[in-house]
Amino acid sequence: MKQTVEQWGMWEITIHGPQKGNPFTDFRLQGIFTGKNEEITVDGFYDGEGMYKVRFMPSFLGEYTYRTQGNFPEAKTQGSFTVIPPSAGNHGPVRVAGGFHFAYEDGTPYYSVGTTCYVWTHQPEEIRQQTLNELSKGYFNKIRFCIFPKHYIHNFRDPETFPYEGTPVDNSGLTEENFTYSVDFSGNQWDFTRFCPEHFRRIDRAIEELRDRGLEADIIVMHPYDRWGFSDMGRKADDLYWNYVTARYSAYRNVWWSLANEYDLMKAKTLEDWEHYASILCEKDPYHHLRSIHNCVQFYDFARPWVTHCSLQRQGLYRHVEYTDELRQRYGKPVVWDEIAYEGNLDMGWGNISAQELTRRFWEASLRGGYAGHGETYLHPQDILWWSHGGTLHGESPARIRFLHQILCETPGLGLRRGSGEFDEIVGVPDSPTVADGSYEIHYYGFGRPSFREFRKAPEAQYLAEVIDTWEMTVTQVGVYSGKFRIPLPGKEYMAIRLQKL
């Protein structure tokens, strides 16, 4: 029987090899895959219990051959398989398109509406399933999450697995009252040369579950919120980790790489370190998945050639997404606001904005030519907050974000950019040279409450006018107009008018 895999699927080879010594450092495995249009060499990895694996994502249809090689006798194998057309919903990896936007490999536009659940993969199975149930509702098409566990307020429970063999320090006395950022790592006992495969298999399963639901997995490889010592392992251990992660996850089509969350809080790392880690990704990920790095305060230099898009956290309390068009011009790359404060009721300013305000920020970012990310931080009696643990959503913004995504999917071309308009509105127009100027406009009024708006168009042109209530999630056709005309509005916040030239 001929062996097949779909285009942009995963072909995995498992080889049973030696378990003596330290298989993570003593033995090496590579796979060489050859098709009509590509030849790619990838590193394998050890997955425990004597299993060595090589993963490959074919980018083209047709026949492929492969051979594996390494420094142990069983490493030498060969074979072939056939790549068949992709199944429904498989559009390939997401790429930068049109300079400031995204599209899947097959050309289908991708409009990012993301969310953040930092350590949902490390939670008990019941919470994981609740998270997946919420994600199945189609609110989001990207989720940010960490490989390492997280130490921060509302995050004091140990994860179900750790990434390394060893023993963590006892944290039974940790509370919100005695929480501190300055942690002594010396009580932990880890062997940074021996990974715990089950920890990384949990990430495997998460990426696959997200892929099957149409979500991109924005993997945060490092972060500063740590009481175990993973943020300061030293260059040698870091390199082993980066190579392992890249070998293990690159062949998933829905992976994005985030080098770090709030990289500028990781005081043990230098800019040279981040450039070094980026070089590993550029060398070892043959599929060139999207790559970025996320700030707390100081923006990274997103003009660096390895960066594919800007992954931003707001720097100011009041203005942030309003800088989207300026940042597009500065960096010449897609602008993704992955953190613009969360819908919730925490005592922290980053976690207590309203659903209306978060939705407004999404619309502002989108009409200015960028993309925004969601988060939710409502207090919970068991400290199960979506922003970190996943679980169940309680807020009102997700449905409005899904509605915005529907509007974006109706945009001609790949996405929007800011067009000209009055001082009290944001106008989004198609960011595409193939779409005629003035043929499609969305006029957004945010927290303004006009009872009507007047327009002047050419008398020979006809425009279909629709009123969009971004909060009530309705689109109402109000007529076809030309020349000078007035569109009535209900005098409430978060309204928009869409004009389409007929």
- Kindly state whether residues 205 and 70 are assigned to the same domain: no
- Kindly state whether residues 173 and 119 are assigned to the same domain: yes
Tokens of 451: 């009872």
**The model's pTM:** 0.97
- Kindly state whether residues 307 and 355 are assigned to the same domain: yes
Alpha-carbon radius of gyration of the chain: 24
Report yes or no: 408 and 111 within 8 Å, Cβ to Cβ.
Answer: yes
| Residue 129 backbone dihedrals phi, psi, to 5 degrees | -70, -35
Tokens of 94: 């997401």
Tokens of 364: 């502002």
**Tell me, what's the pLDDT at 1?**
59
- Domain-embedded: residue 89: no
- Domain-embedded: residue 118: yes
- Kindly state whether residues 40 and 168 are assigned to the same domain: no
Residue 353 has what DSSP assignment?
B
> CB-based contacts of 300: which residues, under 8 Å, 6+ apart?
263, 274, 293, 307
Q: How far is CA 491 from CA 359, 465, 474, in A?
A: 18, 17, 15
- Kindly state whether residues 330 and 258 are assigned to the same domain: yes
DSSP H or E stretch at residue 208 = helix 197-212
> Within 396-497, where are the H helices?
397-409
Strand pairing category for 335-339 and 310-313: parallel
d(CA 400, CA 246): 35
**Domain of residue 447, CATH code:** 2.60.40
- Kindly state whether residues 203 and 168 are assigned to the same domain: yes
Sheet containing 371-374: give its strands across.
Answer: 291-292, 255-260, 216-222, 142-146, 113-116, 371-374, 335-339, 310-313
**Tell me, what's the pLDDT at 179?**
81
**Tell me, what's the pLDDT at 142?**
98
d(CA 371, CA 210): 20
| Final residue belonging to a domain, choices 29, 54, 84 | 84
**Domain of residue 197, CATH code:** 3.20.20.80
d(CA 46, CA 53): 6
d(CA 409, CA 369): 14
Q: How many CB atoms lie within 10 A of CB 129?
A: 14
Considering its fold, how many domains does the chain have in total? 3
Report yes or no: 310 and 293 within 8 Å, Cβ to Cβ.
Answer: no
Tokens of 176: 């919100």
Nearest alpha-carbon partner for 252 in 107, 57, 426: 57
**Tell me, what's the pLDDT at 434?**
86
Nearest alpha-carbon partner for 370 in 104, 101, 114, 109: 101
- Kindly state whether residues 195 and 343 are assigned to the same domain: yes
Q: How many CB atoms lie within 10 A of CB 268?
A: 11
| Final residue belonging to a domain, choices 409, 431, 447 | 409
> CB-based contacts of 164: which residues, under 8 Å, 6+ apart?
190, 191, 192, 194, 195, 196
- Kindly state whether residues 160 and 103 are assigned to the same domain: yes
Largest CA distance in the chain: 82
d(CA 245, CA 239): 10
Tens place of pLDDT for every residue, the chain, 502 residues? 569 999 999 999 999 999 999 999 999 999 999 999 999 999 999 999 999 999 999 999 999 999 999 999 999 999 999 999 999 999 999 999 999 999 999 999 999 999 999 999 999 999 999 999 999 999 999 999 999 999 999 999 999 999 999 999 888 788 888 887 778 888 899 999 999 999 999 999 999 999 999 999 999 999 999 999 999 999 999 999 999 999 999 999 999 999 999 999 999 999 999 999 999 999 999 999 999 999 999 999 999 999 999 999 999 888 999 999 999 999 999 999 999 999 999 999 999 999 999 999 999 999 999 999 999 999 999 999 999 999 999 999 999 999 999 999 999 999 999 999 999 999 999 999 888 889 999 999 999 999 999 999 999 999 999 999 999 999 999 999 999 999 999 999 999 999 999 9
- Kindly state whether residues 34 and 141 are assigned to the same domain: no
- Domain-embedded: residue 489: yes
Long-range contacts of residues 438-441, Cβ cutoff 8 Å, at least 24 apart: 438/501, 439/412, 439/500, 439/501, 440/411, 440/412, 440/498, 440/499, 440/500, 440/501, 441/498, 441/499
Q: Please give the residue range of the domain that contains residue 313.
A: 94-409
- Kindly state whether residues 108 and 200 are assigned to the same domain: yes
> Within 340-442, where are the H helices?
355-367, 386-389, 397-409
- Kindly state whether residues 490 and 369 are assigned to the same domain: no
- Kindly state whether residues 341 and 436 are assigned to the same domain: no
**Tell me, what's the pLDDT at 35?**
97
d(CA 295, CA 45): 30
- Domain-embedded: residue 308: yes
| Final residue belonging to a domain, choices 365, 391, 409 | 409
The label of the residue with tokens 């992709």 reads 86
**Tell me, what's the pLDDT at 384?**
97
- Domain-embedded: residue 34: yes
Residue 120 has what DSSP assignment?
G
Report yes or no: 193 and 424 within 8 Å, Cβ to Cβ.
Answer: no
Nearest alpha-carbon partner for 446 in 322, 315, 345: 322
Q: 3-class SS at 185?
A: helix
Q: Which amino acid is at 56?
A: F
